[in-house]
Amino acid sequence: MKTRKLGNSGLEVSAMGLGCMRMSFGDRPTDRQEMIDFLHKAVERGVTFFDTAEVYGPFTNEELVGEALEPFKGQVVIATKFGWKHGPEKEGPHPRFGMDSRPEQIKRVADASLKRLRVECIDLFYQHRPDPNVPMEDVAGAVKDLIQAGKVRHFGLSEANAEQIRRAHAVQPVTALQSEYSIWWRAVEPEILPTLEELGIGLVPYSPLGRGYLTGKIDESTTFAENDIRSRNPRFTPEAIKANRVVVKLLERIGAEKSATPAQIALAWLLAKKPWIVPIPGSRRLERLDENNGAVNIELTSSDISEIENAMSQINVVGDRY
Enter the DSSP assignment of 298: P
The length of the chain in residues reads 322
Give the span between the Cα atoms of 263 and 248, in whole angstroms: 9
Q: Give Cβ neighbours of residue 191 (< 8 Å, ≥ 6 apart).
A: 161, 162
Rg (CA), the chain: 19
Strands (E), the chain: 3-5, 12-14, 18-19, 49-51, 77-82, 122-127, 152-158, 174-180, 202-206
Please provide the distance, in angstroms rounded to a whole number, between the alpha carbons at the two ends of the chain: 33
Q: How far lies 41's CA from each of 32, 38, 129, 249, 289, in Å?
A: 14, 5, 31, 32, 10
Give the span between the Cα atoms of 256 and 251, in whole angstroms: 9
Helix (H, G, I), strand (E, B) or coil at 81: strand
Q: Give Cβ neighbours of residue 264 (< 8 Å, ≥ 6 apart).
A: 255, 258, 291, 292, 294, 295, 298
Identified catalytic residue from 56, 181, 206, 213: 56
Establish whether 213 is a catalytic residue. no
Give the span between the Cα atoms of 191 and 188, in whole angstroms: 6
The residues carrying an active-site annotation are 56
